[in-house]
Amino acid sequence: MSPKALDHDSINENVKRAQYAVRGELYLRASELQKEGKKIIFTNVGNPQALGQRPLTFPRQVIALCQAPFLLDDPNVGLIFPADAIARAKHYLSLTSGAGLGAYSDSRGIPGVRKEVAEFIQRRDGYPTDPELIYLTDGASKGILVPVPQYPLYSAAISLYGGSFVPYYLEETANWGLDINNLRQSVAQARSKGITARAMVIINPGNPTGQCLSEANLKEIIRFCHQENLVLLGDEVYQQNIYQDERPFLSSRKVLMDMGQPISKELQLISFHTVSKGYWGECGQRGGYFEMTNIPPETVDEIYKVASISLSPNIAGQIFVGLMVSPPRPGDISYEGFVRESKGILESLRRRAQLMTDGFNSCRNVVCNFTEGAMYSFPQIRLPPKAIEAAKRAGKVPDVFYCLKLLEATGISTVPGSGFGQKEGVFHMRTTILPAEEEMPEIMGSFKKFNDEFMEQYDDHRGYSRM
């Protein structure tokens, strides 16, 4: 009998080639162990509220009222909701023309919320922007996956759409900085293989590397993309997550505009933001946006058409975007509580970033750069040759071998560095800095115990893999 349409042999090779490590083998094994009753510490995805972060109160009050608009007529509503949340809920419901959360919006998102995003960008960067070029999405991932070819945020998406992935390497010894010469080499090398690069992604602050790009570095990148006719995709979902003061977040768009004409009118740039990160951490709500700069109107129309096929982003997520870009202001009833909650989260993340870096650096054969921003720690694990041989015998990539052993021994679920790409012969693992602050000492202790025993077992002091 001939194979059926969805037999594994029949399906598209691009689908099979796509790899997505964050939810790959390690995650699957962790889920199994959890089912068997083992306590798992999920540090594999930046998912703060799954690790105990409490949601911010005010935005949740607003959304609850939007979900249950009949409460607005209830004489008792004031007993459990503050007046400014009630007012804000009425505001967003009016932006939906009264249709509320249960109606599809325009596929680009609710016009009034897109206007609030434009105002936020202008406040942040000091340059006006056009709400017509801001599209709301179900989280940044959905925006990023608009299937324009060579839209290479993640290697998975590229494989899926049959594109080619041109890697460039960040410099671990320079705190994961971006060396423009490396970039030039990568593009030239790709060209010599017949691949024309079309887009460049930067993640700033970086995932998994945590680095914050300097203004000088951003300018180099922008000039490079301009010369090479690359569209720059600026993944800026971690813009609120900054844990040092030397390099505050600078948006690609601001740096581009500061550079003036002609480049500010020519470089094609798409910037992404989300409610999943920052001190919001509202991952499950699926709210985000992307902003297009210097994209020709006919292309914007095509992107609109593609967005139309899935009808509309979820409305509650859109309103979360609105709330993120216009939080309570001084004088509002909820202002002080909001500031207390959000500062509390950010300050604790900052302390956790430090705890983790220090913890990793105290371990045998582990070296780790400081997490300047974002939500991750990306220590290098210097695996001894005997460990690499043992991994080969087990049929595993060495860092996968290490991370699986870590998972089995401690319940700590991480992502092997090979899922992100790393230089030949160098190994890492990625964890988030999200476990609760009070659990951090125990987690780092249990990591250190595992790691140092692992190294004791495999390290015969003949030497080990190094960068």
Ligand X SMILES: Cc1ncc(COP(=O)(O)O)c(C=O)c1O
Q: Encode the chain in three state secondary structure.
A: CCCCCCCCCCCCHHHHHCCCHHHCHHHHHHHHHHHCCCCCEECCCCCHHHHCCCCCHHHHHHHHHHHCHHHHHCCCHHHHCCHHHHHHHHHHHHHCCCCHHHCCCCCCCCHHHHHHHHHHHHHHHCCCCCHHHEEEECHHHHHHCCCCCCCCCCHHHHHHCCCCCCCCCEEHHHCCEECHHHHHHHHHHHHHCCCCCCEEEEECCCCCCCCCCCHHHHHHHHHHHHHHCCEEEEECCCCCCECCCCCCCCCHHHHHHHCCCCHHHHCCEEEEEECCCCCCCCHHHCCEEEEEECCCHHHHHHHHHHHHHCCCCCHHHHHHHHHHHCCCCCCCCCHHHHHHHHHHHHHHHHHHHHHHHHHHHCCCCEECCCCCECCEECCEECCCHHHHHHHHHCCCCHHHHHHHHHHHHHCEECEEHHHCCCCCCCCEEEEECCCCHHHHHHHHHHHHHHHHHHHHHHCCCCCCCCC
Q: How near is the Cβ of 451 to its own copies at its closest, in Å? A: 28
Window 190 to 209, contacts with ligand X (CB under 6 A): 203, 207
Among 208, 278, 313, 328, binds its own copies (CB under 8 A): 313
Q: How near is the Cβ of 318 to its own copies at its closest, in Å? A: 9
Among 316, 349, 368, 443, binds its own copies (CB under 8 A): 316
With contacts defined by CB under 8 A, name the span among 141-149, 336-344, 371-379, 443-451 that binds its own copies. Answer: 141-149
Residue with tokens 């990539």: 397
235: partner contacted, choices its own copies, ligand X, none (Cβ within 5-8 A by kind): ligand X
199: partner contacted, choices ligand X, its own copies, none (Cβ within 5-8 A by kind): its own copies
In the complex with its own copies, the residue whose CB is nearer, 174 or 339, is 339
Tokens of 435: 């476990």
167: partner contacted, choices its own copies, ligand X, none (Cβ within 5-8 A by kind): none
Q: Does 140 bind ligand X (CB under 6 A)?
A: yes
The interface mask with ligand X, positions 303-342, x = CB under 6 A, is --------x-------------------------------
Q: Does 261 bind its own copies (CB under 8 A)?
A: no
346: partner contacted, choices ligand X, its own copies, none (Cβ within 5-8 A by kind): none
In the complex with its own copies, the residue whose CB is nearer, 16 or 423, is 16
Q: Which contacts of 36-39 are long-range, i.e. CB under 8 A and separated by 24 or more positions?
A: 38/411, 39/411
The interface mask with ligand X, positions 216-255, x = CB under 6 A, is -------------------x-x------------------
Q: Does 288 bind ligand X (CB under 6 A)?
A: yes
Q: Does 141 bind ligand X (CB under 6 A)?
A: yes
With contacts defined by CB under 6 A, name the span among 137-145, 258-266, 379-387, 437-445 that binds ligand X. Answer: 137-145
Which residue, 320, 285, 281, 314, is CA-closest to 88? 320
Using CA atoms, how far apart are residues 85 and 63, in angstroms rounded to an integer?
A: 9
18: partner contacted, choices its own copies, ligand X, none (Cβ within 5-8 A by kind): its own copies
Q: Please give the C-alpha separations between residue 97 and each of 93, 163, 238, 304, in angstroms, as whole numbers.
A: 7, 41, 32, 21
In the complex with its own copies, the residue whose CB is nearer, 42 or 458, is 42
In the complex with its own copies, the residue whose CB is nearer, 96 or 241, is 96
326: partner contacted, choices its own copies, ligand X, none (Cβ within 5-8 A by kind): none
Q: Does 244 bind its own copies (CB under 8 A)?
A: no
The interface mask with its own copies, positions 1-20, x = CB under 8 A, is -xxxxxxx-xxx--xx-xxx
Q: Does 48 bind ligand X (CB under 6 A)?
A: no
Q: Does 109 bind ligand X (CB under 6 A)?
A: no
Q: How near is the Cβ of 88 to its own copies at its closest, in Å? A: 13
Using CA atoms, how far apart are residues 247 and 212, in angstroms rounded to an integer?
A: 6
Amino acid in the structure at residue 103: A
Which residue, 266, 269, 199, 212, is CA-closest to 238? 212
In the complex with ligand X, the residue whose CB is nearer, 365 or 432, is 432
Window 330 to 389, contacts with its own copies (CB under 8 A): none
Q: Does 286 bind its own copies (CB under 8 A)?
A: yes
Q: How near is the Cβ of 262 to its own copies at its closest, in Å? A: 11
Q: Does 373 bind ligand X (CB under 6 A)?
A: no
Among 206, 317, 398, 419, binds its own copies (CB under 8 A): 317
Q: Does 270 bind ligand X (CB under 6 A)?
A: no
Binding site for ligand X (CB under 6 A): 46, 139-141, 203, 207, 235, 237, 274, 276, 283, 288, 311
